[in-house]
Amino acid sequence: MAGIISYGVHIPWHRINRMVIYSAMGFLNPATFTGGEKAVANYDEDSVTMAVNAGMECLNGIDRNTIDGVYFASVTMPFKERQNAAIIATALDLRSDIKTADFASCTKSGTTALLAACDAIKAGSAKSILVCASDCRLALPGSLQEEYFGDGAAAFLIGENDVIADFQGSHSVSYDFRDTWRADFDKFNRQWEDRWIRDEGYGKFIPEAISGLAKKYNLDPKDVAKAAYPCLYAATHPRIGKSLGLEPTQVQEHLFATVGNTGNADSLILLAAALDDANPKDNVVVASWGSGSDALLFQATEKISADKTGKVKKALESKKMLDNYAKYLTFRNIMEVDKGMGRGESVPWEMASLSWRYRRTLLGLVGSKCKKCGTPQFPAQHICVNPSCKAVDEMEPYRFSDKEGHLFTYTGDNLAFTYNPPAIYGMVDFEGGGRSWFDLTDCDLDALKVGIPVGMSFRRKYIDEKRGNYGYFWKAVPV
Least confident of 141-145, 321-325, 336-340, 439-443: 336-340
Task: State the pLDDT at residue 32.
Answer: 76
Q: Taking residues 15-21, what's their average pLDDT?
A: 96
Task: State the pLDDT at residue 85.
Answer: 98
CB 290 within 8 A of CB 209: no
pLDDT tens digits, 392-427: 999 999 999 999 999 999 999 998 889 999 999 999
Alpha helices in 277-343 (DSSP H): 311-317, 325-331
Rg (CA), the chain: 23
CB 51 within 8 A of CB 8: no
Instruction: State yes or no: pLDDT of 62 exceeds 90.
Output: yes
Strands 152-159 and 69-73, by their bridges, are: unpaired
Q: What is the pTM of this model?
A: 0.96
Q: Taking residues 341-366, what's their average pLDDT?
A: 82
pLDDT over 70 percentage in the chain: 98
Residue 345 pLDDT class (50, 70, 90 cuts): low
Task: State the pLDDT at residue 31.
Answer: 78
How far, CA to CA in Å, does 395 sit from each of 363, 378, 402?
A: 19, 12, 19
Residue 343 pLDDT class (50, 70, 90 cuts): low
Task: State the pLDDT at residue 281.
Answer: 97
Assess whether the previous peptide bond of 280 is cis (omega < 30° from 0).
no
The Cα 474–Cα 364 span in angstroms is: 9
Average pLDDT over the chain, rounded to whole? 94
CB 297 within 8 A of CB 168: yes
Least confident of 58-62, 185-189, 429-433: 185-189
Task: State the pLDDT at residue 370.
Answer: 97
pLDDT tens digits, 109-130: 999 999 999 999 999 999 999 9
CB 119 within 8 A of CB 10: no
pLDDT tens digits, 256-314: 999 999 999 999 999 999 999 999 999 999 999 999 999 999 999 999 987 677 999 99
Strands 99-103 and 69-73, by their bridges, are: parallel
Instruction: State yes or no: pLDDT of 24 exceeds 90.
Output: yes
Among candidate residues 371, 89, 477, the one with its CA nearest the CA of residue 380: 371
Among candidate residues 368, 378, 439, the one with its CA nearest the CA of residue 410: 439
Among candidate residues 455, 453, 478, 440, the one with its CA nearest the CA of residue 44: 440
352-365+400-478 maps to CATH 2.70.70.10 = no
Q: 3-331: what fold?
A: Peroxisomal Thiolase; Chain A, domain 1 (3.40.47)
Task: State the pLDDT at residue 6.
Answer: 97
Determine if residue 310 is left, alpha or beta; phi over 0 gives left, psi from -120 to 50 gives alpha, anything else beta.
Answer: left
The Cα 174–Cα 304 span in angstroms is: 32
pLDDT tens digits, 147-165: 999 999 999 999 999 999 9
Domain boundaries, the chain: 3-331, 352-365+400-478
Give one DSSP letter per residue of 13-64, joined into a string.
SEEEEHHHHHHHHTTS-GGG---SEEEE--TT--HHHHHHHHHHHHTTTS-G
Instruction: State yes or no: pLDDT of 465 exceeds 70.
Output: yes
Task: State the pLDDT at residue 337.
Answer: 81
Task: State the pLDDT at residue 112.
Answer: 98
Task: State the pLDDT at residue 352.
Answer: 87
Instruction: State yes or no: pLDDT of 344 exceeds 70.
Output: no
Instruction: State yes or no: pLDDT of 351 exceeds 90.
Output: no
Task: State the pLDDT at residue 405.
Answer: 97
- Of 219 and 415, more confident: 219
Task: State the pLDDT at residue 338.
Answer: 76
- Of 244 and 468, more confident: 244
Residue 342 pLDDT class (50, 70, 90 cuts): low
Q: Quickly count helices (H) and strands (E) in the chain.
A: 13, 22
